[in-house]
């Protein structure tokens, strides 16, 4: 049987641009605070800018420390073969309702339950119906997933 690949975490790269806004904000804050200090000689603005920059930098570092290991886990799984594959028909599909607080989209294939939300950063299938996903009951699929990470989908294929 031939399959069309809908999602493949192995072909995605780490979103380095995710951290770019924080770096830009830090740079702009420091530049403007130095300019303001040179004009007004007010040391308080330098202290506030420094504290803001440290806070933004720490938030960027925390986000990177959280997201990067998840991405590397997917890449390691592909390299080592540490994943599971299930082939079958999608059953019990429940689309995610739009809006915050709504439950994740979910379905089962041969008794294996999968759930996901849109907006996942890092790796993992996240094409909900609300973001253009086309999953529905009765589709013949092959899903590669990580059973030790709540069945995170790392490759999603649909039968041609």
pLDDT at 70: 80
| One domain, residues 112 and 97 | yes
Same domain? For 122 and 145 the reply is yes
Give me the domain span that covers residue 100.
Answer: 3-11+83-159
Give per-residue pLDDT as tens, 52-101: 778 877 887 887 777 788 878 888 888 899 999 999 999 999 988 776 66
Residues 92 and 112 in one domain: yes
Contacts of 6 by beta carbon, 8 Å cutoff, 6+ apart = 125, 127, 156, 157, 158
CB atoms within 10 A of CB 157: 20
Cβ count within 10 A of residue 39: 9
Instruction: Kindly report the pTM of this predicted structure.
Output: 0.70
């Amino acid at each position: 049987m031939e399959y069309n690949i809908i999602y493949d975490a192995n072909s995605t790269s780490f979103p380095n641009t995710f951290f770019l806004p924080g770096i830009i904000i830090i740079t702009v804050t420091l530049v403007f605070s130095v300019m303001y200090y040179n004009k007004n000689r007010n040391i308080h603005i330098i202290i506030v800018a420094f504290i803001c920059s440290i806070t933004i930098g720490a938030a960027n570092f925390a986000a990177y420390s959280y997201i990067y290991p998840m991405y590397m886990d997917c890449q390691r799984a592909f390299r080592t073969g540490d994943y599971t594959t299930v082939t079958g028909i999608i059953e019990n599909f429940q689309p995610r309702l739009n809006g915050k607080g709504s439950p994740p989209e979910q379905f089962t294939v041969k008794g294996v339950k999968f759930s996901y939300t849109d907006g996942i950063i890092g790796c993992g299938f996240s094409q909900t119906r609300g973001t253009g996903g086309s999953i529905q009951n009765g589709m013949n699929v092959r899903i590669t997933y990580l059973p030790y990470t709540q069945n995170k989908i790392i490759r999603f294929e649909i039968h041609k």
